[in-house]
Amino acid sequence: MDASAADLLHVIADGIVCGTEGRGHATPGGRPPAEIVVDATEGFVPLWAAGSMLKWRFQERSFAFAADPDGSKAAVLELMSEALLRWGAAAPVRFTRDTDVWDFEVVLRNAPDCSPQGCVLASSFFPDAGRHELTIFPTMFEQPREEQIETLIHEFGHVFGLRHFFAQISETAWPSQIFGTHSPFSIMNYGPMSTLTDADLHDLTELYRSARAGLLTAINGTPIRFVRPFSSLADLGVPVAADVMAG
């Protein structure tokens, strides 16, 4: 594989790639790698509405393949809790476990998802009113514990609405917008620069604070649209499309 092809891979570290976005690797628009990037794929920037609570459950059938299903669930729960603890007050939504009405399932794959470029450790989703999966692959458990936690911090960043920091140049098929500034070190970056920083926490906090206060209604001309989780719409009796209900 030549250097130009290698530049198109979103490689987290040697042999590891991110599964949430198969959309490239580069610095956005020739800028220094110092901005937070938000999704604008649908023509707007989706952010969670104030007071949103994401309900989740383990997908039991996927954990049934594990040698120790209960132990695996306990390990994943501990990693998720640590990842969310690191985001702390910057997290724009709360989470609760609910086996009946849920917004996403935590899925444990029983086989790796690997290509010649590397292996996916986990994948997640962006804000919307659908039902989703946060998927974990067995390869994640082969990494050092801190790498496992940082993988889930990164995936929760996507859940909060964040794109890869380099999205504007090599993920252009899926539009994005730049908001705020921070150091080149970011949990939404890759390799040695992939670490959760005070700037990440500040930028995410400020993005949601400004938007929810009505001080920020668009980012670089792209309107912000607040979305509510599936569970909140279901609780309110709001009709939901059949394909979403199918989950």
What's the pLDDT band for 234 if we cut at 50, 70, 90?
low
Q: Domain range for residue 117?
A: 3-246
Per-residue pLDDT of 99-133, as tens digits, reads 999 999 999 999 988 887 778 889 998 899 999 99
Whole-number Å distance between alpha carbons of 33 and 66: 40
> b/e per residue, 212-221, with b = 16+ CB within 10 A?
beeebeebee
Centre a 10 Å sphere on the Cβ of residue 223 and count the other Cβ atoms it contains. 11
What end-to-end distance do the CA atoms of the chain give, in Å?
Answer: 38
Predicted confidence at residue 18, as pLDDT, reads 58
Tokens 């459950």 correspond to 57
Which residue, 179, 105, 147, is CA-closest to 16? 147
Instruction: Give the count of domains, the chain.
Output: 1
Tokens 């938007």 correspond to 211
CA angle 54, 173, 32 (to 5 degrees): 85
Q: Are 194 and 153 in contact (CB under 8 A)?
A: no
Per-residue pLDDT of 72-107, as tens digits, reads 999 999 999 999 999 999 999 999 999 999 999 999
Q: Are 175 and 144 in contact (CB under 8 A)?
A: no
pTM, two decimals, is 0.78
Bridge pairing between strands 113-115 and 104-108: unpaired
Predicted confidence at residue 239, as pLDDT, reads 54
Burial of 84 (0-12, 13-18, 19+ CB in 10 A): middle
Percent of the chain with pLDDT over 90: 43
Whole-number Å distance between alpha carbons of 95 and 26: 32
Average pLDDT over residues 154-181: 58
3-state SS, residue 118: strand
Side-chain-side CA neighbours of 193 within 13 Å: the count stands at 17
Check which CATH number belongs to the domain holding 45 and give it.
3.40.390.10
